[in-house]
Structure 1
Amino acid sequence: MARVWVLTSGKTGDDKQSLRLAAALGVPFEEKKIVFNDRARAWRIILGPSIASADRARSSHLDEPWPDLVISTGWRQVPIVRWIKRRSGGRTRLVQMNRPPGPKYFDLILSPPQYGVPIRDNVIRLDWPLQLPHSAEALEQARSEWKDRLDRFPHPWTVVLLGGESDPFGLDREAMRILFARALERSRSCGGSLLISTSRRTPRPALDVVREAAIEAEDRVFLYEWRPEASENPYAALLSGGDEFVITPDSISMLVEVARLGRPIAIAPHVRHRSLSKRLRNTLKRFLHGRLDRRQPAARAFISDLASLLGLKNVRNLESVSRQMIEHGWAADFPEFAGGRDRPLPDDDFDRVVERVRAFLDD
């Protein structure tokens, strides 16, 4: 029987994609939870496999027998999965999602459009991330658990899902003030309620604005402030009960999940970083990585790989996802809404991805 490991990092959007793919392969798999130490960010510039960025005492045990396949999502696990492959004598196959530094080290890369991974033989460029929405049972359970706290807010619910800082976008005080005021006006004009959920990336200044405005608005406003130590999160309950959603454009996983549930979506206005240093840095990144819509010459591919290993990953093209969703009618620019139960987002990539990955287990 083939051995499959899934390395998870605690980032919900990333982990859900990896676990979904592993579950579809039709073989048992082990989830290996990795807790990172303070060297996680620095270690990606070291050229080579390593487990030094993992907190070994708090992470799942990694030892023989080594797996036939490792599935992982996100750059922090990259040194670790490469270390696993080295320890296995090169036998372990590596499937990595998103935009790992050093693409040549992986057997297969699954990359959604916003990551701008150049065309290569070992790259599948996805139309959308592989997130699967919560099951109907999970949504119903969450709705039941939060019933006493949320049922006092009359429908329709306008749910605002806030991301935050994600290059090249930011979320400053003024942008948050305008977004809150317009969303509140929308909910009141419909005779409903405004329910807001922040996330791990929501910056403190934007959160302060929301908190102050919610207090002033008094009734018909619910605010959930994300905290890493919180034992409960109303996200699934909001998905279950939300009548329409306003989502910041940096939150690709939330956009895709809500669209696959078939709910009307409005995409909040983009706010670009105004810092000159960040704009210059992003210009340099785009130059180093070159054109992404064609196969790169060997020299250009080498420069792109080296830039990624040094921490100069290409700028995510978050606008491409928003633009696609709007063009196909799955979302609209706020304050307009589009999409709904008659137009759920398709999941066309998944079957071909599963087939390609399953082939590694048959080798």
Structure 2
Amino acid sequence: MRPIRLPEPPSVGTLGMPEIFEGGVYSVIRRAVIIGNGFAGTENQSIGLVRALGLSNHQSIYRVTRPKGGINEWLHWLPVSLHKTLDYIIRRICGYSRYPVIVSGKKPVHLPSEYGVSAGLSSLLEADAKQIATMARETFEKDGPLLVVASGRDTISVASSIKRLAPGNVFVVQIQHPRSHLNRFDLVITPKHDYYPLTPQAQEQIPRFLRRWITPSEPPDSHVVLTMGALHQADAAALRNAATAWHDELAPLPKPLVVVNIGGPTRHCRYGADLAKQLTVSLQNVLATCGSLRISFSRRTPHKVYDIILKELGHHSKVYIWDGEEPNPHMGHLAWADAFIITADSISMLSEACGTGKPVYVTGADRCKWKFLDFHKSLQERGLARPFTGKEDMAESWSYPPLNDTAEAAGRVREAIAERGWRLQC
């Protein structure tokens, strides 16, 4: 019997190429699974990347959750699988009814409604690697490959397990540095400052006996995508929609409109009442050149910081302080602000603001250390941000090429998927 010979495929650029030459349904990624940890800052990165890849309308969101209450607040540094095992053992020993439930202030932050995700954890499925991998295998012939995007330390084991269980059916992207064994993923997207431990300055700060435990242990390879800041959803289309939605409230305000975003202290960027007092003095100094000043706080902001700023600035005619009630004006602020003043702790808020091309001033960077300090140094070297001194003329406008990490990372994902012989649905 003579072998069957297929006709030669049409030349490149010919429209209407039959699916048999493109790999058919088996090569087209039409859907995405997001693995989150319940914290807006990390989940927003995954959702932003999926949005940039054009799959927002075909995404499913799962969450890795940790046990809460009692001794669990002391076990959050453990790998999530070990944490859950210890929680189960403790509950079996102590009895469920006698197990102490003490809720601390460190709760997962639910995504606000403008991010396109319902708020409660109960509305999302618990991430189960075996279940997701099985779904990817069983639906492969009908729906094609599955894009899996995960972000945050607690999602690493789930994402890598999905890749191990269904290697031929998924493309797995891990956002933020997974600490070790990067080959567990198809692509890793992480900020450049996560490689700060390899710099000579960091090596001087790390005791020799600890160096092997500090990640990363080696330079990035070809399947690592380095960004300046954090990925997010505040692209041009989102800002246009926000400009329309917030037009009636923000457009009439006197110009320049200056937005102040205040986060909260972190391990590598510590501050408290001292920064709040310094910031209020500096803001009072620049009010003369502001048309309007709007201040927003995050859920990490300490009460003492909030109280100081509210007391000193809350009654000024030019100042509006958001009370935390919905709707959240954050996207509207990004669209309508003429300039931003942002605390140094929040890489996410700074990344979003620097994506607008508008003036960004940073307060509190002198209180940061380690990779946070490296991040702020990089922002200033690229002309994306300046230190806030309180001596600025806020009517002075300056600009720069907007930070475009999310779109650039999405482009690298498309390239890597193409190298795999697949493509994203257009």
TM-score above 0.5, yes or no: yes
Aligned to 1:330: 384
Once residues 86 and 49 of structure 1 are traced to their aligned partners in structure 2, the CA distance between those partners, rounded to angstroms, is: 20
Once residues 304 and 80 of structure 2 are traced to their aligned partners in structure 1, the CA distance between those partners, rounded to angstroms, is: 37
Q: Does structure 2 retain, via aligned residues, the 8 Å contact 1:170–1:271?
A: no
- List aligned pairs for 1:139-154, cutoff 5 A: 139-147=239-247, 149-150=249-250, 153-154=253-254
Q: 1:213 to 1:145 in 2, by over 3 A?
A: farther
> Larger Cα Rg: Structure 1 or Structure 2?
2
How far off its partner does 1:148 sit? 5.4
Once residues 362 and 210 of structure 1 are traced to their aligned partners in structure 2, the CA distance between those partners, rounded to angstroms, is: 53
Aligned to 2:316: 218
TM-score by length of 2: 0.63
Kindly provide the amino acid, as one letter, of the partner of residue 362 in structure 1: W
Aligned to 1:354: 414
Once residues 285 and 414 of structure 2 are traced to their aligned partners in structure 1, the CA distance between those partners, rounded to angstroms, is: 45
How far off its partner does 1:241 sit? 1.7
Kindly provide the amino acid, as one letter, of the partner of residue 313 in structure 2: A
SS for the counterpart of 1:196 is: strand
Kindly provide the amino acid, as one letter, of the partner of residue 317 in structure 1: K
Residue by residue, what CA displacement relative to the aligned partner does 1:11-55 show, whole Å, maximum 9, x if unpaired?
344333323433455678522132624359746634969987999
Aligned to 2:256: 156
Identify the match of residue 362 of structure 2 among 260, 264, 267.
Answer: 267
Once residues 181 and 191 of structure 2 are traced to their aligned partners in structure 1, the CA distance between those partners, rounded to angstroms, is: 14
How far off its partner does 1:103 sit? 3.6
Aligned to 2:12: none
Once residues 418 and 33 of structure 2 are traced to their aligned partners in structure 1, the CA distance between those partners, rounded to angstroms, is: 14
Q: 1:92 to 1:339 in 2, by over 3 A?
A: farther
The CA RMSD measured in Å over matched residues stands at 3.7
Aligned to 2:293: 194
Once residues 288 and 305 of structure 2 are traced to their aligned partners in structure 1, the CA distance between those partners, rounded to angstroms, is: 24
1:177 aligns with 2:247: no
Q: Which moved more, 1:54-63 or 1:201-210?
A: 54-63
Residue by residue, what CA displacement relative to the aligned partner does 1:128-184 show, whole Å, maximum 9, x if unpaired?
235356345543543454455546742211211112122210231121111122123
Once residues 201 and 47 of structure 1 are traced to their aligned partners in structure 2, the CA distance between those partners, rounded to angstroms, is: 22
Once residues 46 and 274 of structure 2 are traced to their aligned partners in structure 1, the CA distance between those partners, rounded to angstroms, is: 36
Q: Does structure 1 retain, via aligned residues, the 8 Å contact 2:232–2:352?
A: yes
How far off its partner does 1:88 sit? 4.0
Aligned to 2:347: 252
Aligned to 1:345: 403
Aligned to 2:302: 203
Identify the match of residue 38 of structure 1 among 55, 64, 67.
Answer: 67
**Which segments of 5 or more consecutive residues in structure 1 lack a partner in the other structure?**
274-314
Residue by residue, what CA displacement relative to the aligned partner does 1:52-93 show, whole Å, maximum 9, x if unpaired?
799996532653313744211111222332443455489644
Kindly provide the amino acid, as one letter, of the partner of residue 209 in structure 1: I
Kindly provide the amino acid, as one letter, of the partner of residue 96 in structure 1: Q
Once residues 50 and 240 of structure 2 are traced to their aligned partners in structure 1, the CA distance between those partners, rounded to angstroms, is: 25
Q: 1:131 to 1:121 in 2, by over 3 A?
A: closer
> What percentage of residue pairs aligned between the two structures are identical?
26
**Which segments of 5 or more consecutive residues in structure 2 lack a partner in the other structure?**
1-25, 88-107, 109-119, 137-144, 196-215
